[in-house]
Chain A
Amino acid sequence: MVEERIRVLIAKPGLDGHDRGAKVVARGLRDAGIEVIYTGLRQTPEQIVQTAIQEDVDVIGLSILSGAHEYYCRRVLELLKEKGISDIVLIVGGVIPPEDVSMLKSIGVSEVFGPGTPISKVVEFIRQVVKK
Chain B
Amino acid sequence: MTDPTVEEFARDADAWFSENVPEDPGFMLPLTFMEVGEDRQFDFLRDWQRKVYEAGYLGAAWPTEYGGGGLSEAHQKAATRAMRKYRGPILLNAIGLNWAGPLILDIGSEEQKSAYLKDILSAEDIWCQGFSEPEHGSDLGNAQLKAEREGDEFVLNGSKIWTTQGNYAKYMILLARTNPAAENKYAGLSFFLSPMKIPGIRTQKIKKLTGEFGFTQTFFEDARISADCLIGGEGNGWKVAMRTLEYERGARGGQAGGYVSIPPDLMEIVELAKTAKRDGAAAMDDPVLKDRMVDYLMDMHALSLGNERKRMMPLVEDYPNALPLISKLEFSELYRELSEFALTLLGPKAAYYVGEENSADGGWWARSYLNAFSATIGGGTSQIQRNIIGEHVLGLPKTR
> Do A and B bind?
no
Residues of A within 8 A of B (CB): none
Residues of B within 8 A of A (CB): none
